Amino acid sequence: MNPIVLAAKVVVICVCLMTFTPAFAEPSDGEKLQLKSAVTQHITSHTDSGTYLFVRNDNTELLKLTYVAMHPVVFSHPNGLFVLCADFNDAGNKKVLVDYYVRKIGETFVVLSSIEGKRSLLMRLAEKFNL
């Protein structure tokens, strides 16, 4: 398929998904800062001598990762969960994405779970074409 046609289809799908999903409040800038701080603290508390220790969910393999960067976007869900993503490199310098699920408990944002990020074909195409 022509890459331009494919990119156009991806844009249409993304617009439809954004248009027809239920509305809910986006976190304020202050909340985004608190969310990112909670994830950063979680990463720091699981880092030993510069190596982030992460257990792969599907086979309980211990990964030893190097932090690269946190993604700027904070995804929010109507059930009160927030999802933040970060990039890491493994020992072979291969990119590993980790998704962090965060929720406010009392007055504090807490990382409830982290999983290895699996990006769908749609996300990979959107990233490839900078959509």
Name the residue with higher pLDDT: 25 or 34: 34
Residue 16 lies in a domain: no
Q: What pLDDT shows up at residue 129?
A: 60
Q: How far apart are CA 53 and CA 44, in angstroms?
A: 10
Residue 128 lies in a domain: no
Structural domain tally of the chain? 1
Counting residues of the chain whose pLDDT is more than 90, the rounded percentage is 57
Q: Is the pLDDT of residue 131 over 60?
A: no
Buried b (16+ CB within 10 A) or exposed e, 51-69: ebebeeeeeeeebebebee
Residue 76 lies in a domain: yes
Name the residue with higher pLDDT: 58 or 40: 40
Residue 114 lies in a domain: yes
**CATH code: domain of residue 46:** 3.10.450
Domain coverage including residue 94: 26-119
Q: What pLDDT shows up at residue 57?
A: 84
Residue 40 lies in a domain: yes
Residue 92 lies in a domain: yes
Helix (H, G, I), strand (E, B) or coil at 113: strand
Question: pLDDT band for position 51 (50/70/90)?
Answer: very high
What mean pLDDT value characterizes the chain? 81
Residue 7 lies in a domain: no
